[in-house]
Structure 1
Amino acid sequence: MENAGAFKHWKLQSLNKVDFSKKGSVDEDIEDPVRFINQQDCYFTTSSCSGRVIIIDESLDISVVQKQNCSWLFVTHQLCQTDDVFAALQKAVGDAVLKFEPFVLHVQCRMLEDAQLLHNVAIDSGFRNSGITVGKKGKIVMAVRSTHCLEVPLSHKGKCLVNKEYVDYLVQTANQKMEENKRRIVRFYICLQRALQKRDNVSDAACKEETTPSSVYTRRRKRKEGTMKSKRVPCEEVDDPEADLTFFNDGLRH
């Protein structure tokens, strides 16, 4: 119970914090799966990216942390155009690199079994670089990742090393990877829905099995009592069309 309380606290804290990403919101292509995951009692997302094509201009000063000392010349989460990529490349003053980075999602999980279910779904959906980590405070995080990447240097010290024809080839390659990435996201979302539904059905079936013996006994006793009572009532009452109606609790969760 203590872990459950801590998980609820972490989830509330995470979902209420400000999004400090460059975009400031969840990417359009993963809005539905992210919302679905956050609606589950056993999960919440901590970071995500639907996949993107970017050109970064890395600093020539290797003494500075690379991530903090580079400029973004181009970024899109959709299919890109050769003219846009080539135009962005002309702005480079350092070492420009084109990258395709696939869908990535970090999900904190309530229990290890929840993380394992999510991991199996990710692997089956094509995200074969996915993994589970357990922190010192008991935080269980499942990372959805793949090796479906692309990284190509385009310029050095501001000098473009490629022509437009080669950029066009890179754009086609990046777009193909983006399309495959989108297909995997859809597959992941569908498989996750099915896996959670299957787990819920198994849980419901287990609960019904636990109550079946007493339920059968109760029905048999009522049937016996009803038979004895029918011998004492007039025929017209027995023929009442609503006399034999029985109402059951279907056990549906709302």
Structure 2
Amino acid sequence: MPKWRARTLNSSRMDRSAEFKKWKAQCLSKADLSRKGSVDEDVIELVQLLNAREQFFTTSSCAGRILLLDGMVALKKANGDAVFKFEPFVLHVQCRQLQDAQMLAVRSTHGLEVPLSHKGKLMVTEEYIEFLLNIANQKMEENKKRIERFYNCLQLALERETITYSHTKIKEKNNPFCTHKKKRNPEKLRGKCIPEENDKEPENDDDSDPGINVAIFPKDY
């Protein structure tokens, strides 16, 4: 790659990094417009962990909730279609790069949504509603455990990322001619530094971080 082209790419990346940093500062300085006005206690450590890293910032979060959707004070007064819902924790995060977003790409099917009435007519018994409440409370307890597992897995992944980045920088500083590109003709590689396991093709391209596996969370998360 010509030197002028390399400088252009580096400059572009610096501009995007500076723009992301500015955007992050603006978003985190805004007032919390949620009804509660603060981050839920069960996810505050997770939010702080992400916001402490330069490649992430959170835009909204919810530790989980149980609700009855109808807009009426009590179920017996409902005149529409009342729905009982449990929603697991939700975390919206802005990421600087695609590989950062891939690290956090986790979905869950831990929710619950059950219709209770139709056009004002109650379709279930009070005993069944009590049963749903017990199920929802159990799901909420499991939800808290999942938040803790998510936090621990993410913390470990970020620590590995930091270690890998530090090692890469040390290698580059000690030998600026070291290359991480794919294996070429051995005759052309004489006198150059190549990765230790040069008999394998790297799975990531030059912009990816080989020290981070996207699947850092349990399969059944």
Same fold? TM cut 0.5: yes
Q: Aligned partners of 1:174 and 1:25: how far apart in 2? A: 24
Residue of structure 1 in register with 2:68 after alignment = 55
Residue of structure 2 in register with 1:97 after alignment = 83
Query: Of the candidates 99, 118, 134, which is equivalent to residue 113 of structure 1?
Result: 99
Q: TM-score, normalised by structure 2?
A: 0.68
Residue of structure 1 in register with 2:7 after alignment = none
Identity of aligned residues (%): 55
Residue of structure 2 in register with 1:2 after alignment = 15
Q: Aligned partners of 1:209 and 1:21: how far apart in 2? A: 46
Q: Aligned partners of 2:41 and 2:72: how far apart in 1? A: 21
Alignment RMSD: 2.0
Residue of structure 2 in register with 1:176 after alignment = 138
1:114 offset after TM fit, Å?
1.4
Partner-residue secondary structure (3-state), 1:90: helix
Residue of structure 1 in register with 2:129 after alignment = 167
1:72 offset after TM fit, Å?
6.7
Q: Aligned partners of 1:55 and 1:23: how far apart in 2? A: 18
Q: Aligned partners of 1:158 and 1:117: how far apart in 2? A: 45
> Which protein is richer in strand relative to its size?
1
Name stretches of at least 5 consecutive residues in structure 2 with no aligned partner. Answer: 1-13, 177-221
Residue of structure 1 in register with 2:40 after alignment = 27
1:165 offset after TM fit, Å?
0.8
1:213 offset after TM fit, Å?
7.0
Q: Is the 8 A contact 1:53 1:174 kept in 2?
A: yes
2:62 maps to amino acid: C
* Greater mean deviation of Cα atoms: 17-26 or 203-212: 203-212
1:164 offset after TM fit, Å?
1.6
Partner-residue secondary structure (3-state), 2:85: strand
Output one character per residue of 1:114-160: Cα deviation in whole Å (capped at 9) or x when no partner: 112223xx3xxxxxx3xxxxxxxxxxxxxxxx221111111223332
Q: Is the 8 A contact 1:56 1:96 kept in 2?
A: yes
Residue of structure 1 in register with 2:151 after alignment = 189
Q: Is the 8 A contact 1:155 1:162 kept in 2?
A: yes
After superposition, the Cα gap between the structure-2 partners of 1:10 and 1:102, relative to the gap in structure 1 and judged at 3 Å, is same
Q: Aligned partners of 1:13 and 1:72: how far apart in 2? A: 38
Q: Does 1:40 align with 2:2?
A: no
Question: Which structure has the larger Rg?
Answer: 1
2:51 maps to amino acid: N
1:97 maps to amino acid: V
Output one character per residue of 1:93-117: Cα deviation in whole Å (capped at 9) or x when no partner: 3221100111111100111121122
Name stretches of at least 5 consecutive residues in structure 1 with no aligned partner. Answer: 58-70, 74-87, 123-128, 130-145, 215-254
1:1-254 residue pairs with structure 2 within 5 A? 1-57=14-70, 71=71, 73=73, 88-119=74-105, 122=106, 129=107, 146-211=108-173
1:202 maps to amino acid: T
Q: Aligned partners of 1:147 and 1:96: how far apart in 2? A: 22
